[in-house]
Amino acid sequence: MATPLIIDTDPGVDDAFAIALAARSPEVDLRALTTVFGNVGLELTTANALRLLAHLKRTDVPVVKGSPGPGGAADVHGEDGLGGQAHTLPENPESVKSEDVVQFFADHLTPDTVVAAIGPLTNIAKALDAGIMFPRLVVMGGGLGIGNMTLRAEFNFWADAEAARTVIRKGNPIVVPLNLTQRCIADTAFLANVDPVLSNLTGTYREYLAANPDQNHSDRPEGILVHDAVAVAEAIVPGTLQLRTHGLDIDDEGALVEGKHQVEVAEDCDWPALRAFMEQRLSV
């Protein structure tokens, strides 16, 4: 029996790879995409979610339009959020199912549902503040002592620090931080072997990484960092990532800091095996 999965997302190029991985994995039943602002604004992340589902031939999956906010990563993901290539994806004959993300979670979360949150956590925090509890919540975000928006804060947590704090304090999440995902690069060989429509979205992202080398990963090959697909892989196959519990909190900048809230953090994985898992499922 496939596990119900809802992905809260700001597509976003690595979000696109994560959504495709879920749609092509029999272990999960993709029940919905809930959209949030993030890489680009909400109108674009929502339009991109609809187009991605049309490309994946999953127009049966509802899209729920969530929280608005400023786009913040067009330099990485392109002005349209998909490397300037959103128009190469088909239109979706379906439109947004709902614009009340909290009510959608209230109506559709079942005890076996897993939610993967791979953008800013505004939607998730609103649901938690409304008393909704998530049976299993996997979050891509944060960094232990590192960041990609500031020296200490990662983009998803930085974009809505108050929401990140709510999720750490009330959501009992599994956190998949930059410390792990910055080691997970989909290089040009990987991109040549997977769905060319997805690979075609990666130009801006590849150029950005090439122009902004990471001093902690100086040997990083050309490619993209599949942050979100790493987190969604844990939602698809629990145990993919090696977890350890940390006492954490979130500061005003959105940085993970030591605190009293016990949080499971993904610290490691067998990246060659996970890369092969992704490559096999994302090939067409």
Look at residues 117, 118, 112 and name the one whose alpha carbon lies nearest to residue 128.
117
Applying CB under 6 A, does 228 fall inside the site for ligand RIB? yes
- Please choose which of ligand RIB, Ca ion, none residue 148 contacts, taking the beta carbon within 5 to 8 angstroms, the exact cut-off set by kind: ligand RIB
Nearer to ligand RIB, 10 or 195 (CB): 10
Residue 166 to residue 249: CA distance in whole angstroms: 9
Strands (E), 98-229: 114-117, 136-140, 174-176, 185-187, 223-225
Q: Cβ of residue 117: shortest distance to ligand RIB, in angstroms?
A: 9
Q: Which helix (H) or strand (E) holds 267?
A: strand 261-269
**Binding letters toward ligand RIB, positions 61-100, x by CB under 6 A:** ------------x---------------------------
Q: Cβ of residue 121: shortest distance to ligand RIB, in angstroms?
A: 11
Nearer to ligand RIB, 66 or 91 (CB): 66
Please count the residues of the chain.
Answer: 284
HSE-CB of 282 using CA atoms within 13 angstroms: 28
Q: Which residues here bind Ca ion, judged by CB under 5 A?
A: 10, 12, 15, 118-119, 228
Q: Contacts with ligand RIB: how many residues (CB under 6 A)? A: 16
Q: Which residue has the tokens 């993030």?
A: 38
227 flagged as catalytic: yes
DSSP characters for 157-192?
HHHTHHHHHHHHHHS-PEEE-HHHHTT-EEEHHHHH
* Residues numbered 151-210 forming contacts with ligand RIB, rule: CB under 6 A: 154-156
Would strands 256-258 and 241-250 be described as parallel, antiparallel, or unpaired? antiparallel
Q: Which residue is nearest to ligand RIB (CB)?
A: 155
* Amino acid, res. 179: N
Q: Cβ of residue 171: shortest distance to Ca ion, in angstroms?
A: 17
Which residue stretch of 11-19, 99-107, 126-134, 268-276 sits at the interface with ligand RIB (rule: CB under 6 A)? 11-19
Residue 245 to residue 269: CA distance in whole angstroms: 15
Q: Cβ of residue 247: shortest distance to Ca ion, in angstroms?
A: 26
Catalytic one among 87, 108, 217, 227?
227
Applying CB under 6 A, does 138 fall inside the site for ligand RIB? no
Largest CA distance in the chain: 47
Residue 14 to residue 109: CA distance in whole angstroms: 25
Number of neighbours of residue 260 by Cβ within 10 angstroms: 8
Q: Cβ of residue 82: shortest distance to ligand RIB, in angstroms?
A: 11
Binding site for ligand RIB (CB under 6 A): 10, 12, 14-15, 38-39, 73, 118-119, 140, 148, 154-156, 227-228
Residues known to be catalytic? 227
